[in-house]
Structure 1
């Protein structure tokens, strides 16, 4: 069923607000991001922002979801499964850090999540939304790294990789770049070890 005019308008408004939020993050930083500022940049009312997102934490969750939507459609982000294991692992780690986890907005989003952790309704929403995003990332990773499907705990392997990237993303603002780079290299090597078949060791 095709969306009606109201649904189309709502989708357009939501997209406009997300673009305004990302513009603020990129040009002014997390400290300037607020419901009021998003409304001002989008030339809309604060009521419109609150209607679509409810809180700053919910807004940041959707900003990350919006970015992941873009990466999901960006084929250059995901290495082809036919590439050698080392090339795929290096490419994925580099792009994941460059385009998502190493961006200031990633740490900013988690700051908003942690600030909302005492709100059970918001926490439940974030958990649910993150589970959806994690599932999408997992399926794309298994497409780029089909060897992981051989592992009985393939999803746990993927979640471990993503957790490492999230941890580095939170550490990033407080660590020298060479320290982060060294850990990203180790992560790539770890991914490669996951892709190695038992026969390779014999």
Structure 2
């Protein structure tokens, strides 16, 4: 019985490893060539596996794209060590969040790859709804974590909108990075950190 169990566990491990290998190959294709070059055959070639192996794990290009998006969304959510402790001074927290989030997440090539995948499926209602649902869950997590780091913001009537504004600006900068000079990004990040500091310091309870 134990031998059967061990064999089953080994099969699951190998299957998970193969799946991860295929997803990484697909991500590499998206980053290097764009979504137009993504196919089951090309993923198999890059991963040095058979097309049958790709079909076994994903079934179709649409299913593969959905799993790529889910994988990338999960990875975005896992990059959480840029959240500063709430007891830090406001200036330190604002600078830390903006610059660390940029260096570890929004300024990384994988961020642009994720949005490449999003844009590639924007005309597919099923995949678009899947992305919307996954991003809604991710947004809730980000808002909760940001509220823990910046309780002053969480307590404001417009606090959530302000937190969303900071993250949306980081996303926007991440999207234009491939087409912008690096010298123009850092000053904008500092302006964003200054804006976040102003938000933190604005404790007025306005409707």
Q: CA deviation at 1:94?
A: 1.5
**Would you say the 8 A contact 2:30–2:113 is kept in 1?**
no
Residue aligning to 1:105 = 110
Name 1:164's counterpart in structure 2: 169
Report the counterpart of residue 71 of structure 2 in structure 1. 63
Partner of residue 136, structure 2: 131
1:151 is paired with a residue whose SS is: coil
- Paired residue total: 193
**Structure 1: runs of 5 or more not aligned:** none
Check the 8 A contact 1:35/1:55 in 2, yes or no: no
Match of 2:189 among 174, 184, 190: 184
TM-score normalised over the length of structure 2: 0.76
Query: What's the TM-score, normalizing by structure 1?
Result: 0.78
Aligned counterpart for 1:46 among listed residues 33, 42, 54? 54
Q: What do you get for the CA RMSD once the two structures are aligned? A: 3.3
CA shift digits 1:146-196 (9 cap, x unpaired): 111121122212211111011001100000011111111111111111110
Q: Distance in 1 between matches of 2:95 and 2:75?
A: 21
Shift of 1:64: 2.3
Q: Tell me how far 1:59 sits from its aligned partner.
A: 3.5
The answer for the alignment partner of 1:30 in structure 2 is 32
- For residues 13 and 51 of structure 1, do their structure 2 counterparts lie closer, same or farther at Cα, with a shift above 3 Å needed? farther
